[in-house]
Chain A
Amino acid sequence: MRIGSRLSTHLALAPALLIALVAYCGAMGWTIWISFTNSRMLPSSVFVGLRQYTSLMANERWQVSVQNIAIFGALFIAMALVLGFVLAALIDQRVRAEGLLRSVFLYPFSMSFIVTGLAWRWLLDPTFGIEKLGHDLGLTWFRFDWLVRPERVIYTLVFAAVWHASGLVMAIMLAGLRGVDPEIWKAVRVDGIPPWRAYLFIVVPLMRGSFATAIILLAVSVARLYDLSVAMTNGGPGIASEVPAKFVMDHLFERGNVGLATAAATTMLITVAAVLAPLMYWQRRQPARRPV
């Protein structure tokens, strides 16, 4: 690289570097430090070793939260990816009212969950939601009370979350699809490859970047899942739909247990770092430029 460009690059990266160091590493460092203290509502500096961590591991609500986020994460990412991609592929087929359809699928993303979560809760409520609708239509055997069953409630969160995020995945996929070389489409037509094969084996691999972007954005929203859990079920019934971000939030503010909350946040960081570090190491060793 020429000197001028090297300087420019570093200059360009300066804000990000500053932010990463001060805001992220600084704040994260503070968080990790506080997790070793007995902080209640305000930070304190009384060192208590690993006490918060042992409490955390023994905390049943935390254990349930971790299980839930794993189930939720796997299902949500898979379903949102598939639905988003399928919607993008279908809309890309020169359908009428493309703009309208795009808006219909994208609008859920524009609304915060505080009230849309309430609408979903009403819809899934067994006494006046779709179960009642089924009964009114004469289908007396119809049951859909997953919202109030502890072993099923997490799946209702998946529904609402997929509803919320598929539109965004669709937008990302559309952007990616529109970047695919038109020569590819011509070749597909000329070679007579059936559309589903073309999409699955040719187009999807070409859109690695879009998929990677979508997966990471979805994963980030999984880790951040809070609003929806509060609005739809408030962690209930009991603690059946608790999630880690809600655990951190509740203990940070409502319960005045900053020590435990920061221990939970640090645990999340360690988990994420453990997953990302090998990926990053593998990235560094790549000779050619490839998206993550």
Chain B
Amino acid sequence: MLEYRSAAFVLAAMLALAAPTSAEEQRAEVIHWWTSGGESAAVKVFADQFQAAGGTWVDTAIAGGANARTAAINRTVGGSPPSAMQLNTGKQFDDLVENDLLANVDAQAAAQNWKAILPPSFLEAVTRNGHEYAVPVNIHGQNWLFYSTAALAKAGVQPPTNWDDLFPTLDKLKAAGLIPLAFSGQQNWERNLFNNVLAGRGGRNLFVAFWGKRDVAMVKGPEFRNIAVTFKRLRDYVDPGSPGRNWNDATNLVIQGKAGMQFMGDWAKGEFTAAGQTPGKEYGCTVLSDHGIAYVMGGDVFVFPQLKDANQRKAQQLLARVLLEPDTQIKFAQKKGSIPVRLDVDTSTLDACARKASGWIHDANAQVPANEMLSPPALTGAIQDLISQYWNDPNMTTDGFIAKVANTMTQQF
């Protein structure tokens, strides 16, 4: 009799311990790099929406994309992966997929019909071997031109509409004693400016041929040469203090009306807003392109490491679903200054610049995938070094630059 009673007791205890508690919260730890005031408000939208759907957002914010990726990857290989981590839309998670460290979100993609609601290049960017591995959450335009209405008025010019217009405008700004082009001489932004010229002057196909196809023949051709020369020409219009300057300080020059224009991504709107300026009034935004609108689109995604715990996996799925819901998307875009990545969302509540762009994202021909989506980080870095040298080093000729780029394209990465 005693054995039966003990056995029953043990069994009951085991059952009690093994049964999932009904009030089990769906905890998801998320690693991301959104830490400034504006970014914090934006990520709060995600957290609140996730909370409202029954989840608990555990926040691990680490500024600096490289830092966040380092921490996330080391956590994953060290055996305590986060539930979700932020990456840029593109090739940053190739290795993670290859090493089978990520869970796929195929079910999610099917349920929300990603084919219909996402721009095709973004869907492609998150798909590997037929499976989807990341949830895109926003679209950031990288090749905007911001200008100060006051500065342009002082020089008596209109905002340029294409690249041929640009140089006379810059000349007039110079003549009026202003800094024509506010520029921040850090490698990222030198590459960004180059991409601006590449997409704007060269057009979508040239951009993809360069970063995606690594077309050496194209690089050695006359069109690319024209791009390189235009890029270098812009250097005559920046001020001597530009090397090393933070992009925010360059935006500040435009805000103060000391400079006419800046080529920057749409995150620059955050600085304008913080200074109390509104688009259309104190500053304006446009995209310069010669071959119809060429809007360079990048963004952020969340990936989901493989987890053992079933509850945590459920939390991941819940999070993945919430991130792409229309309500979440529009609220996030309002705070972040980006555009919702869902094509079927009503964008009339966004600011003037974002509204301009939402027309373009419905037009497949106007969209240029950002270089992160086309080329692996190692190749991007190597080309970036060359672009930076070309910009800064007077000893590097255009032909020299072209030859080195062609050479780098042929290396293995």
Contact = CB atoms under 8 A, between A and B. Distances in A.
A and B touch in the complex (CB under 8 A): yes
Given A55-B411, A128-B241, A237-B244, A41 B95 contact: yes
B377 interface: yes
A238 B393 contact: yes
Nearest to B186: A234
A256 B381 CA distance: 9
A40 B73 CA distance: 13
Contacts of B70: 253
Interface string A187-214: 0000000000000000000000000000
Nearest to A252: B70
Interface stretch (B17-25, B209-217, B384-392): B384-392
A60 B378 contact: no
Contacts of B244: 121, 125, 147-148, 232-234, 236-237
Contacts of B377: 41, 254-257
B184 to A, nearest CB: 10
Interface string A132-164: 000000000000010110100000000000000
Q: Indicate the size class of the contact surface on chain B.
A: 35 or more
A134 to B, nearest CB: 15
Given A41-B94, A236-B186, A236-B392, A257 B378 contact: yes
B79 interface: no
Interface residues of A, number: 34
A92 interface: no
Nearest to A232: B244
Contacts of B381: 250-251, 254-255, 257
Given A238-B391, A238-B393, A40 B186 contact: no
A126 interface: yes
A42 interface: yes
A150 B393 contact: yes
Interface of B: 65-67, 69-70, 73, 77, 92, 94-96, 98-99, 185-187, 239-245, 376-378, 380-381, 385, 388-389, 391-393, 411-413
A267 B309 CA distance: 43
Contact of B243 (A51, A237, A251): A237
A240 interface: yes
Interface string A252-270: 0111110010000000000
Q: Which of A51, A127, A128, A150 counts the most chain B CB atoms within 10 A?
A: A127
A235 interface: yes
B243 A255 contact: no
11 contacts: A41-B73, A41-B95, A42-B99, A145-B240, A147-B244, A148-B241, A236-B187, A240-B393, A251-B381, A256-B376, A257-B377
B92 A256 contact: yes
Q: Which of B239, B244, B388, B393 has the most CB of A within 10 A?
A: B244
A235 B187 contact: yes
A250 B388 CA distance: 15
Contacts of A128: 241
A215 interface: no
A236 B376 contact: no
Contacts of B392: 150, 236-238, 240
